């Protein structure tokens, strides 16, 4: 999965447009099953 492309979708626009976040995000990573390598076709994607 192309997570960088996923972050550029409309669903994740809030990361780029939220006034409180602005340029304050220093690190954005994966959490949950994708981070642990236990994901399957029904897994959601957790950014943390």
Write the DSSP string, 1-48. --HHHHHTSGGGHHHHH-TTTTT------EEHHHHHT---TT---EE-
The residue range of the domain holding 42 is 3-47
pLDDT at residue 2 tops 90? yes
Q: How many domains does the chain have?
A: 1
Please say if the pLDDT value at position 37 is more than 90: yes
Cα–Cα distance measured from residue 34 to residue 21, given in angstroms and rounded to the nearest whole number: 24
**Whether pTM exceeds 0.75:** no
pLDDT tier at 3, thresholds 50, 70, 90: very high
pLDDT value at position 1?
87
The 10s digit of each residue's pLDDT in 11-35 is 999 998 999 998 899 999 999 999 9
Query: What was the pLDDT predicted at 44?
Result: 95
């Amino acid at each position: 999965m192309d997570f960088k492309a996923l972050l550029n979708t409309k669903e994740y626009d809030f990361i780029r447009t939220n006034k409180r976040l602005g340029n304050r995000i220093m690190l954005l990573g994966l959490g949950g099953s994708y981070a642990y390598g236990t994901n399957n076709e029904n897994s959601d994607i957790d950014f943390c």
